Structure 1
Amino acid sequence: MMLTWMRTGRAGAVCVLVCAVLLVAQQAWFFGEWGGPEAVTLVSDATYIPLALVFTTLAARVAFSKRQEPRTRRAWRVITLACGWQLAAHIAWFVQSHVLFTSDYPSVADYCLLIFSPFMFAGLLMLPGQNRRRRDRQKLALDALIVGAGGFMAIWFLLLGPILNAPGFTPWQRTFTAALPVGDMLLVLAMSTAMLRRHQRETPAPIRLLAGSIALTVSADVSYSWIQLNGGFTGGSWPDLLWLAGCFLLVLAADQQYRRPRHPEPKRRDRSAVFLLPYVAGAGAYLLLAVESAHLPINPYGGMIFGSVVLTLLVMARQSHALRDNREIAATDGLTGLGNRIQVTERLEQLAAQPLRPGQHTAILLIDLDRFKPINDTFGHEAGDAVLLAAADAMRAVIRDGDLAGRLGGDEFAVILQHLPSREAAGSAATRLLEALRMPVIFGEHVLMVEASIGVAIRDDADVSGDTLLQQADTALYAAKRGGRARFEYYSDVMDTKAREAELRRAVAQDELVAYFQPIVALATGELRAFEALVRWNHPVRGLLGPGEFIDLAEETGAVVPLGAWVLRAACREAADWRATVPGAEPLRLTVNLSPKQVAQADLVQTVEAILDETGFPPERLTLEITESVVLQPDPLTVGRLQALRDLGIQLAVDDFGTGYSALSYLRRLPVTVLKIDRSFVTGIADDPEARSVCEAVVHLGEAFKMNVVAEGIETAEQASALIDMGCEIGQGFYFHRPLPPDDATALVGRQFADLGNTNQRAAT
């Protein structure tokens, strides 16, 4: 029951607060010496039990929480067992000291504390760390052993040596007293391993708190053993302050681990001094050696000890320089001397972890050399290397100290600019880089001309990752290349295909789209014959967008499939309402476009049929328009789907006929009933004899195939008259009507058929 309640974050916070209050109260009682030594001892020993109960419960909460990854849960289950033994030790000590009034050594509490060490040792080693190569694991083991060796020297000097020579101990007491510091040494070894395993990332708060708890506990244990050697330990003395503080840190560690997300975002490279642990341990060991050997004669021991210390320090200093050199080699591009992808990635991770500061901007510039491949292919790799070296020198000349230029691979570079006063400063830097990279490179007898394109991404979001910034700069780079090369572009959400695709799909799901309707009329009379459904996007930020703003993206990403289904459903629903509410509107036809991707869907016929059933619009009044790309690729499956639509009574039209590579043989094979003449053929028919001849040929072609012909893009009375003379009877365009929103289209239908009813009524009279 308690564990169930403890699974809430609020419960953990309450427990931490209660433990903090208890610890403060104990400290006040200890330093105030209220009630005398016996009262101080009683309060100190009593404080352990609720603290130990809380950290055991909180550790169990972590051990069985689905929020944690499996390896973490397994490690904390072992840590929970260790905490349970420590809880048993504190209870046993309290009973022994204040109920039974015994002072046996070793006591039950001592045995429980001894069992605590191997369980905690195993739990700490089981904590998940960074995945490493075999060589890295070997280096980690050496570092941890160095720390362990230094700890062993300290424990030997303070405890193990005196224990072996102390009088008055039975063999079992001597063995047990020596076992306690050995257990502490194991804890130091395990904790140093856990921390060193994390040194390439930020050490998580739970690990740091566990390390602090182990450090305080080991210090208290050493003090306890020392006091036992020199007169016997009694409760309420100063080691209790260290033990209790260690208990409270265990409470904090368990609570912080529970709150830590399962897959936390990667943080910046840890700049803490964890990597110095082996050096600190070595220095401490030599310090103890110097203290212990102070009584030895200078000749020969002094010089030998001094020389050993100096020699070790020199080796350590040489190793630090070797590590720095290895690091520089690993993070440097071998050809240009710039940073490589590793260094650029790490710098981006550092920047992503920093908070945004007003008046300071960070930008990443992704640079690609234009037409580098032809140079490499024509003149060889040596010429390509000369160009890359020249480009690197140009970048060094432009960027400031503190900024980073790196080569990501091939002819792609990255520049990271920090502490810019404005967004425009990144553009100014990009302009200077373009100028510096627009240079001739002398290679033997050849002059190689180089230019570059640059994509600029500004860090505006505190939560954006380094990888995302690099992707944004890459998107902007290709926008610059598409725009003509030798230029730069800022990244914007509009460029991001994935983000725009998700936004477009979300617009379909949230009904941000609007169906517009362009009337199709009889050219001679202007009477309404049909409507073509067109789509608009009522964008919440950018306003009403025409199809040119998003249809190409929808086609490219496949979002046109759900978008097309939405348009068909919305248009059929609106047209069915006209038929139901406007007398005489039943003959009115509806035309809707089908994209090539929709035609390629295996369930196209079922989707269309389901929409017609849902909206109640009759299939015989529906025309679906397909493009010439579908006509040119009439595989058997496509032909079968189109024929199935025709079997439902739906008419099929070829949209924008004549703009592609139309094949007349396919028109005979496909169940097409309507040809729509593209507006490009209609534009010049009033005054261009050649355009008129082409348009007239298309009209006659439709007649030859026994198809209805519809002209698009009619903008003048002269064009309408010319089309009538050719024999084209139906058309659409701004001369008659612009695309109308649903309400205006409904009003037009009402007027048209009301006027038609009045005309018929007068004729009958």
Structure 2
Amino acid sequence: MAPKSNPVLTHATPPMPSAALEAYPTSVAMAARMIDLLPIPAAMVALGDSGVTVQIANRAYEIAGLGMNDRRRSLIAQIEPQIVAFIEGDTLRTEFSVEFGDKVDCHYYQATLARLERNPLQRCMLALVDQTAELRTEHNLRREMLTDSLTGLPNRAGFSDRLEMLLEEPTERANYAVLVIDLDRFSRVNACLGSMAGDELLITVARRLKGALRAQDVLARTGGDEFGILLTLEDGVGDAERVARRIQGALSTPFRLSDFEIRVACSIGISFGAAAIEDGEELIRHAQFAVKRSKATGKTEAYQTQAFDIAREQFGMETALRRAIERGQMRLTYQPIRDLSTGQLVAFESLARWRDENGVEYSPNDFIPVAEESGLIVPLGRWAIQEAAATLAQWDARCGGHCGVRLAVNLSAIQLQRDTIAPVVEAALSAYGLEGSRFTLELTESALVTDPDRIAGIMHALKRLGTTIAMDDFGTGYSNLAYLQKLPIDILKIDRSFVSGMLADRDKIAIVRAVLSLAQALGMKTTAEGIETNELAQTLAALGCTYGQGYLYARPLEAEAAYAMLVEDRH
């Protein structure tokens, strides 16, 4: 049996420096007395014909079973190669770590070998410091740091460590995949039943996930309601898809919490190992990105480089857009809106434009979605309202009074949800001495779907300011005629997709007629977008459309060009 650790071997005193050891007397008898008085466990070992033997041992070694008669299967026998190499070498001192015992009861030592004298005698001093307790404590602390206390699974750091160990073997990288499972609407469980019920649900989910995996697969809890799985691909990428199906099946059975029966759905993203990937966190991020796509599509999604590149580009655009808003690099352009029956200029629609410091012009189709997703639509929308009011006030001042046109400003659905629009509009009107009738606020049908009652309240508040309300892109989204009847909408805008090519398409003409008839029945005016020819403008006027805008009249103009058109139209 391997010798066991003894408390007497545990010392905080470091090994004695080699200079002091060299000063020891060469007499074996005197050395024996000195060794027994040393503050650390020490022994003199010698190299003979039969190998390494212990000639003199400190009392601590004898108690630990490392006395004069120790032979094979002892710690001395284990470190014999190091002792032989040291004695036959010419260094004065060396240190190394020793693990001694079995898996159940392993001990750790710091060993020091030092020469007692500079003569060719085949012996040296061995000193051992037992580091078992501190290393076990360190291992326990590390295990706790890498383990999720609720489920007992590896946490995010522990999962990353497993991946890093895997990626150290480049030939094995392509044989693995990472799955990230995100529980849908888990926050509602915490909100409705409390955090203890949420914890119970997570523990049960972890058990079911474990049951859906194979023995060699690694399950971890990588976030609040997020789990990660490291899969070994035995039969190619199909393994990951099969595991994903088993997971969805395991979670399809309802969970019982208190008196409630809860169904848990999940979104699953997969990323596959590749020889080019050297960072475990990168694999996890790829799978998390695929989860976002899974939430949108409702299906298990695998990471795609092209989609990730687009997302990274959008993230870069978000950073640049935030800087542009803060530095005042945004501007408004103005597209004219004319009365179709008289041709008179009645309004301009203001449209946000962005040209960065390098002169690159960004399309609103590119940066508006980024602004909405990031929340930048709120400061951008506020800026647009203030800028439109300032421009209108400048035109009035240059005209010596009312310049005769309204300005239309677009309101995003996200902006309506997150901002207090009515006070913002009121503040802008008040700051520039404008009446509410000078503003037209355009919102899309999608804004109504998110929270109809709240949006209705905002629209009524805007109407109390005297503003005009226009429903933009009518007919392209969710059209609830009941809400349309109740809401204070003044203008329906017919989307360009119905207007363009209308003369050659009977279906489009029928849709436009229907919208015009609906608007007339509800007492609303109409604006047709995308008018590019006189023939189209005349046809729409004959059908009863009130206003029109499009390239026939002008593309979006800079503020000065728009004012020049306004002045020309008045004369």
TM-score, normalising length: structure 1: 0.45
Are 1:510 and 2:273 an aligned pair? no
Shift of the 323–552 alpha-carbon distance from structure 1 to 2, 3 Å rule, reads: farther
Question: Which residue pairs with 1:304 in the alignment?
Answer: 69
Question: Which residue pairs with 1:230 in the alignment?
Answer: none
How many residue pairs are counted as aligned between the two chains?
425
Q: RMSD over aligned Cα, in angstroms?
A: 5.7
Question: Aligned to 1:553, what secondary structure does the other structure show?
Answer: helix
Question: Aligned to 1:148, what secondary structure does the other structure show?
Answer: coil
Please, which of 348, 367, 370 is the counterpart of residue 553 of structure 1? Answer: 370
Paired-residue identity, %: 30
Alignment of 1:182-221 (within 5 A): none
Question: Which residue pairs with 1:612 in the alignment?
Answer: 429
Please, which of 393, 396, 405 is the counterpart of residue 576 of structure 1? Answer: 393
Task: Using the TM superposition, name which of 574-583 and 544-553 deviates more.
Answer: 574-583
Question: Aligned to 2:520, what secondary structure does the other structure show?
Answer: helix
Are 1:473 and 2:289 an aligned pair? no
Q: Deviations over 1:182-203 (max 9, x none)?
A: 9xx8xxxxxxxxxxxxxxxxxx
Are 1:748 and 2:513 an aligned pair? no
Question: Which residue pairs with 2:43 in the alignment?
Answer: 286
Is 1:699–1:709's contact at 8 Å kept on the other side of the alignment?
yes
Distance 1:620 1:458 in 2: 61
Matched letter for residue 472 of structure 2:
D
Distance 1:671 1:457 in 2: 61
Question: Which residue pairs with 2:504 in the alignment?
Answer: 687
Please, which of 495, 501, 511 is the counterpart of residue 312 of structure 2? Answer: 495
Distance 2:442 2:317 in 1: 26
Question: Which residue pairs with 2:161 in the alignment?
Answer: 343
Unaligned runs of 5+ in 2: 1-6, 25-29, 31-36, 47-52, 60-65, 81-96, 109-135, 147-156, 184-207, 244-268
Task: Using the TM superposition, name which of 468-477 and 621-630 deviates more.
Answer: 468-477
Is 2:437–2:468's contact at 8 Å kept on the other side of the alignment?
yes
Distance 1:144 1:612 in 2: 84
Deviation at 1:723, TM superposition (A): 0.8
Distance 2:381 2:58 in 1: 93
Higher percent of residues as helix: 1
Unaligned runs of 5+ in 1: 1-141, 160-164, 166-180, 186-280, 332-338, 351-362, 374-379, 393-405, 416-432, 444-450, 461-465, 758-765
Question: Which residue pairs with 2:469 in the alignment?
Answer: 652
Is 1:515–1:570's contact at 8 Å kept on the other side of the alignment?
yes
Alignment of 1:582-621 (within 5 A): 582=399, 586-601=403-418, 603-621=420-438
Deviation at 1:705, TM superposition (A): 1.5
Is 1:676–1:712's contact at 8 Å kept on the other side of the alignment?
yes
Are 1:728 and 2:545 an aligned pair? yes
Question: Which residue pairs with 2:482 in the alignment?
Answer: 665
Shift of the 155–323 alpha-carbon distance from structure 1 to 2, 3 Å rule, reads: same
Q: Deviations over 1:710-744 (max 9, x none)?
A: 11122333322221111113111223222223343
Matched letter for residue 343 of structure 1:
D
Question: Which residue pairs with 1:535 in the alignment?
Answer: 352
Deviation at 1:518, TM superposition (A): 1.5
Deviation at 1:664, TM superposition (A): 2.3
Question: Which residue pairs with 1:204 in the alignment?
Answer: none
Shift of the 442–364 alpha-carbon distance from structure 1 to 2, 3 Å rule, reads: closer
Question: Aligned to 2:353, what secondary structure does the other structure show?
Answer: strand
Distance 2:242 2:422 in 1: 64
Deviation at 1:596, TM superposition (A): 2.3
Question: Aligned to 1:737, what secondary structure does the other structure show?
Answer: coil
Matched letter for residue 304 of structure 1:
N
Higher percent of residues as strand: 2
Distance 1:345 1:302 in 2: 46
Question: Which residue pairs with 2:458 in the alignment?
Answer: 641
Is 1:455–1:480's contact at 8 Å kept on the other side of the alignment?
no
Question: Aligned to 1:286, what secondary structure does the other structure show?
Answer: strand
Please, which of 217, 223, 237 is the counterpart of residue 437 of structure 1? Answer: 237
Is 1:479–1:489's contact at 8 Å kept on the other side of the alignment?
no
Shift of the 477–728 alpha-carbon distance from structure 1 to 2, 3 Å rule, reads: same
Deviation at 1:681, TM superposition (A): 2.1
Shift of the 493–701 alpha-carbon distance from structure 1 to 2, 3 Å rule, reads: closer
Matched letter for residue 286 of structure 1:
A
Alignment of 1:164-313 (within 5 A): 285-287=42-44, 293=56, 303-304=68-69, 310=76, 313=79
Question: Aligned to 2:523, what secondary structure does the other structure show?
Answer: coil
Is 1:364–1:473's contact at 8 Å kept on the other side of the alignment?
no
Shift of the 595–471 alpha-carbon distance from structure 1 to 2, 3 Å rule, reads: farther
Shift of the 683–597 alpha-carbon distance from structure 1 to 2, 3 Å rule, reads: same
Alignment of 1:386-401 (within 5 A): none
Distance 1:603 1:500 in 2: 26
Alignment of 1:308-387 (within 5 A): 310=76, 313=79, 316-318=98-100, 341-344=159-162, 367=177, 385=213
Question: Aligned to 1:715, what secondary structure does the other structure show?
Answer: coil
Is 2:377–2:412's contact at 8 Å kept on the other side of the alignment?
yes
Distance 1:364 1:585 in 2: 70
Deviation at 1:156, TM superposition (A): 12
Is 1:585–1:749's contact at 8 Å kept on the other side of the alignment?
no
Question: Aligned to 1:304, what secondary structure does the other structure show?
Answer: coil
Shift of the 475–700 alpha-carbon distance from structure 1 to 2, 3 Å rule, reads: same
Deviation at 1:591, TM superposition (A): 0.3
Deviation at 1:691, TM superposition (A): 1.7
Alignment of 1:392-411 (within 5 A): none
Matched letter for residue 662 of structure 1:
S
TM-score, normalising length: structure 2: 0.58
Deviation at 1:511, TM superposition (A): 1.6
Question: Which residue pairs with 1:40 in the alignment?
Answer: none
Shift of the 645–348 alpha-carbon distance from structure 1 to 2, 3 Å rule, reads: farther
Distance 2:565 2:9 in 1: 84
Deviation at 1:545, TM superposition (A): 1.1
Question: Which residue pairs with 1:564 in the alignment?
Answer: 381
Distance 1:344 1:564 in 2: 46
Q: Deviations over 1:352-395 (max 9, x none)?
A: xxxxxxxxxxx999955799x9xxxxxx9899646x97x99xxx
Is 2:494–2:512's contact at 8 Å kept on the other side of the alignment?
yes
